Amino acid sequence: MPLLVLLVISLVSMLLCYLIARFKGVKVIKWVVWGALLGPLAIPFVLFAKKEGTQLSKNN
């Protein structure tokens, strides 16, 4: 039974990471893997993820 609970939590985390990554336009596969590995801990990271190649402009 505990294994089933962990599996469900992992699948839900993967789904949420997939949906958030797709909405934000970042690499979906990367975040699904992170969701599988970290579970719910990956969700805050994908929420703050930025597209690769996006740089902050420096005003010097």
Total structural domains in the chain?
Answer: 1
Would residue 53 count as lying in a domain?
Answer: no
52 within domain boundaries: no
The pLDDT value recorded for residue 51 is 84
Per the domain annotation, does 34 fall within a domain?
A: yes
Which structural domain range is residue 14 located in?
9-47
Assigned domain for 18 exists: yes
pLDDT of residue 48: 93
pLDDT for the residue 59: 64
Q: What is the pLDDT of residue 52?
A: 77
Mean pLDDT by 10 residues, the chain (60 residues): 92 96 94 94 93 66
Residue 4: other Cβ atoms inside 10 A: 8
Q: What is the dihedral of CA 36, 40, 41, 42, to 10 degrees?
A: 50
